Amino acid sequence: MQKEKLRLLRKKKGYTQQQIADVIATDVSNYSRKENGDVRIIKDEWDKIARFLDVSVEEIYEEDDAKVVINNDHPVFNDNAASSIMTQFNNFSASVIQNLQDYISLLKEENEKLKEELKNTKGKNS
């Protein structure tokens, strides 16, 4: 459900979607989806937006029918596709974690080599 009260007040006060996105620490495309009702606006975001617009939350709040809540810490799904999406997310996460662990191992090896080089260089200069 579109957030008409929020959209109208934002425009009336002369603010852009980018300015509101900055207030809730998100990108403008994500904020646009929130204002269009595609993504849920969480309580903390409603509070920040209301303070920024200098109104009470009740003046702008409208119920959410969004399928996805996007929280910068983690996604929360509330539709039937949740298990499928979470499985994909977990598989993706596992592969990313493995790649990062491999990269960390490579960096540790490189660090040891550089320490040895530095040690040898210091020994030659002494």
The residues, ordered by sequence, that sit 6+ positions from 39 with a Cβ below 8 Å of its Cβ are 30, 33, 66, 68, 69, 70
Kindly tell me if the per-residue pLDDT of 108 is higher than 90. yes
The residues, ordered by sequence, that sit 6+ positions from 86 with a Cβ below 8 Å of its Cβ are 77
Mean pLDDT of the chain: 81
Reported as a single tens digit per residue, the pLDDT across 49-62 is: 999 999 999 999 98
Kindly tell me if the per-residue pLDDT of 6 is higher than 60. yes
Q: How far, rounded to the nearest angstrom, does the alpha carbon of residue 84 sit from its chain's CA centroid?
A: 21
Give the pLDDT score at 1: 73
Give the pLDDT score at 31: 94
* Residue in 79, 69, 19 with CA at minimum distance from that of residue 6: 19
48 vs 22: CA distance, rounded Å: 10
Reported as a single tens digit per residue, the pLDDT across 11-59 is: 999 999 999 999 999 999 999 999 988 888 999 999 999 999 999 999 9
